[in-house]
Amino acid sequence: MRFNTRILHCEKKSESITGATNIPIYQSSSFEHKSAKELESIFHGREFGFVYTRIGNPTVEAFEKRINCLENGIGALACASGMSAVTLAIMNITRCGDEIVCGRGIFGGTYSLLKNLEDYGITTKFADDSAIGSFEKCITDKTRLIFIETIGNPKLDVPDIKKISGLAHSRNIPLIVDSTVTTPYLARPVELGADIVVHSTSKYINGSGNSIGGIIIDSGNFKWDYNKYLSLKEYERFGPFAYLARLRKGIFKDFGACISPFNAYLNMLGLETLALRMDKICSNAMKLALRLKQNPRVEKVNYPGLKDSEYYPIAFEQFDNRFGGILTIRTGSKEKAYSVINNLKYALNLANIGDVRTLVIHPASTIYAENTLEEKEKMGVYEDLIRISLGLEDAEDIIEDFEEALSV
């Protein structure tokens, strides 16, 4: 089965009773059982069944199965948001005294999380750049995981997933990859060696900007050393499912960051048209990047699909000649960046990516406002930078919109 067919048919037997083609929204907090014995068995994991929506729900499960199928995992767990997915994926295998190694170009929320985790004794070392040596330098015997994004947002750096997973595995640590920006359509991190994949499904998977969600997928490939990953020790009997079992029965249940069945439904609905939208979005991004590159009012266009980008070769290889829907431009000054944003007719000024509409934001004064100048520059955030997330409009209209706004 190829990608689009898989999206639609890999978990089809949803509603065999009524024949409904869409899975119902099981808007129920809890689930009744025939006997006390049955509920006991479910509680103890001897029998399958739903108990309480914070732990599991049939609509949410259908969403998990579909994403898991696309990512080639052994199981997935949907969460309230992308941030809760990132948080739980990390905290499932770290404890006080442990270290994380992280790529440089990461989402502002994840950066903030990693800083907050310092209060719990979990510290992060950031690689200087995406070179393999920069990651290697940060690894110590306390490192418990490497975390990267497929395309750093908004730095748009593209780490070599195969090489970094090779490094991680040679040190017996897992690689966690946030693939939000590439989606399962552009990248299959598991095939490139990632052990755990996370997504904010609020973005391209949902696609219309109508609900928040996140998901964690386990490849099942990592061989956990239970004396090193102590939090998984009591789940050793689950074998390759130990990571997922600890999530579901442990911190996911206890942190309570479950997704609502309604949001899972909306994310699943968006997923069905993912490939169609991503093709158009990537094509729009490429067209806009090429045109803005010729515009003398733009000092720099940053897009991994441009042949002179240092990340072009690796992006070409990893993402099958598609380069995502996000680009950034430098306009020369903060004033100019503000003027461009204020003069755009179609592109909306807001803090999101992956909508059907084209979106812009001035990252330095918003998402990264609390970071120091040095931190911002390391993450590729400059005062004159605008981040653009392409939507589904006609490319010519969006190009005109930017050309006119730049000429004011």
User: Applying CB under 6 A, which of residues 82, 270, 304, 305 lies at the interface with ligand PLP?
Assistant: 82
Output the residue with the shortest Cβ distance to ligand PLP.
Answer: 82
Q: Which stretch binds ligand PLP (CB under 6 A): 69-77, 80-88, 92-100, 389-397?
A: 80-88
Binding positions for ligand PLP, 345-374, rule CB under 6 A: 353
Binding positions for ligand PLP, 153-212, rule CB under 6 A: 153, 178, 180-181, 200, 202-203, 212
- When the beta carbons of 281 and 353 are compared against ligand PLP, the nearer one is 353
**159, 103 Cβ separation under 8 angstroms:** yes
**Contact call for residue 81 and ligand PLP (CB under 6 A):** yes
Unique residue bearing structure tokens 């393999």: 132
Q: Which stretch binds ligand PLP (CB under 6 A): 55-63, 79-87, 272-280, 396-404?
A: 79-87
User: Applying CB under 6 A, which of residues 214, 305, 325, 363 lies at the interface with ligand PLP?
Assistant: 214
**Contact call for residue 87 and ligand PLP (CB under 6 A):** no
Q: Which stretch binds ligand PLP (CB under 6 A): 106-114, 182-190, 317-325, 381-389?
A: 106-114
Query: If DSSP codes are grouped into helix, strand and coil, which group holds residue 52?
Result: strand
**Contact call for residue 90 and ligand PLP (CB under 6 A):** no
Least distance (Å) from ligand PLP to the CB of residue 79?
9
| 215-245 per-residue burial string, b: 16 or more CB within 10 A, e: under 16 | bbbbbbbbebeeeebebbeebeebebbbbbb
Q: Give Cβ neighbours of residue 201 (< 8 Å, ≥ 6 apart).
A: 67, 78, 82, 213, 214, 215, 267, 270, 271
* Pairing status of strand 300-302 against strand 214-218: unpaired
Q: What is the DSSP letter of 30?
A: B
- When the beta carbons of 75 and 105 are compared against ligand PLP, the nearer one is 105
Report the interhelical angle of 395-407 vs 274-293 (nearest 10°).
40
**Contact call for residue 304 and ligand PLP (CB under 6 A):** no
In degrees to the nearest 10, what's the CA dihedral of 363, 364, 365, 368?
Answer: 80
**Contact call for residue 78 and ligand PLP (CB under 6 A):** no
Unique residue bearing structure tokens 């045109």: 291
Assigned token pair, 173: 């640590």
- When the beta carbons of 194 and 242 are compared against ligand PLP, the nearer one is 194
Least distance (Å) from ligand PLP to the CB of residue 226?
29
Q: Give Cβ neighbours of residue 158 (< 8 Å, ≥ 6 apart).
A: 130, 150, 151, 152, 304, 311, 314, 315, 318
Applying CB under 6 A, which residues contact ligand PLP?
81-83, 86, 107, 109-110, 149, 153, 178, 180-181, 200, 202-203, 212, 214, 353
